[in-house]
Amino acid sequence: MTAEAVAAIAPAQMTLLSGRSSDLGAGLMVQRLLPQRALRMLGPWCFLDLIGPVTFGPGEGLDVAPHPHIGLQTVTWLASGALLHKDSLGYAQRIEPGQLNLMTAGAGIAHSEESPPDSRAPLFGVQFWVALPENAQCCEPAFDHLTDLPVFEQGGVKVCVIMGTLGHLMSPARCYSPLVAAELSSAAGGELSLALDPAFDYGLCVLSGTAALQGETTEPQAAVIPGQLCFLGGGRSTLGITLSAGARCILLGGQPFVRPVKIWWNFVAHKEETIRSALDDWNNGRRFLPVEAYEGEPLQAPPWPDNVRLK
Ligand code: MN
């Protein structure tokens, strides 16, 4: 093998990326890990938010009024607290820790997200978006709530396969391109080695504790703390992970898209025209059905930026 060929398959250096604070409304701050200038997508994952932990007083809570999505799946996963999802398909579903709330927007869906009034525990979790590949961009919208996901334990670490495939385990969640999302947690601390798919790009974010990552033995370790995303790149077949006591993190991966998708407001698409037409339909009461179960007005879209082509 030539030196060039070795370089081509050698894994990229692990890169630690920090999130930036973003306001979800009503002062609820999230850490946005993706997209960011240094990394637009991680495989098909195009948007990563860490939510909380935040404790609400009586009468307070998250209240995101109905808004539209196209071209993506929202993956909501909690470590603590609860959320109430309502959508234009007629679903009203409470989500608790360890359950996957998976909304496939496809051609178009609207939903709201609220704190249930009886929820006392701090809200702490993630919402990630998976971009749909071009051939599934306009699929039928769907909503899935999965409570029985595959789990294994190794070296004191519990691994739950939320979406896609990790090792020999496959989540039953619907997905449209090769990917993985898995939660790793450890009460007393632990260490495990995972088999990775060299065709995937991978990354890991931490909700609590620390995760020390070991790639090739010649590579320096990376220590990941809450609020960071460690981008691992592709070409890797194994990864060693050491978790501190009480650590919880999420491993993400997937086959990268040939071109990054375009994102504007809550819309994801492969072409700007697709986003413009969804915006026009939302503003004019077409395509997106009302979220009947939500009491209150839907969100208004921001104005389309003048003279700007989406990157
Ligand atoms: Mn949403």
For residue 302, being part of any structural domain is answered with no
Cα 308 to ligand 1 centre (Å): 24
Rounded CA-CA distance 77/266 in Å is 19
Cα 159 to ligand 1 centre (Å): 27
Cα 69 to ligand 1 centre (Å): 7
What are residue 260's phi and psi, to 5 degrees?
-65, 150
For residue 77, being part of any structural domain is answered with yes
For residue 268, being part of any structural domain is answered with no
At a CB cut-off of 8 Å and minimum separation 6, what does 203 contact? 42, 45, 229, 230, 231, 232, 251, 252, 253
For residue 191, pLDDT over 80 is answered with yes
Domain region containing 167: 3-254
| pLDDT classification of 7: cutoffs 50, 70, 90 | very low
What are residue 283's phi and psi, to 5 degrees?
-70, -20
Cα 148 to ligand 1 centre (Å): 24
For residue 8, pLDDT over 90 is answered with no
pLDDT of residue 127: 97
Q: What is the CATH number of the domain that holds 156?
A: 2.60.120.10
For residue 111, pLDDT over 50 is answered with yes
Cα 125 to ligand 1 centre (Å): 15
Cα 165 to ligand 1 centre (Å): 25
Hey, what amino acid is at 244? S
pLDDT of residue 11: 62
| pLDDT classification of 24: cutoffs 50, 70, 90 | confident
Cα 206 to ligand 1 centre (Å): 22
For residue 29, being part of any structural domain is answered with yes
Instruction: Give the least confident one: 47-61, 96-110, 175-189, 236-250.
Output: 47-61
For residue 276, being part of any structural domain is answered with no
Cα 310 to ligand 1 centre (Å): 20
SS3 state of residue 155: coil
Cα 81 to ligand 1 centre (Å): 18
For residue 197, being part of any structural domain is answered with yes
Verdict on whether the full-model pTM lies above 0.85: yes
For residue 101, pLDDT over 90 is answered with yes
pLDDT of residue 306: 82
Number of domains in the chain: 1
Cα 284 to ligand 1 centre (Å): 19
pLDDT of residue 288: 98
pLDDT of residue 297: 96
For residue 124, being part of any structural domain is answered with yes
Please name the residue that has the structure tokens 């971009």. 131
Half-sphere exposure of 51 (CA within 13 A, CB side): 27
State how far Cα 218 lies from the chain centre: 31
Cα 64 to ligand 1 centre (Å): 8
Instruction: Give the least confident one: 34-43, 53-62, 78-87.
Output: 53-62
For residue 304, being part of any structural domain is answered with no
pLDDT in tens, 134-160: 999 999 999 999 999 999 999 999 999
pLDDT of residue 5: 40
pLDDT of residue 27: 66
Hey, what amino acid is at 134? E
Query: What residues does 27 pair with on adjacent strands?
Result: none
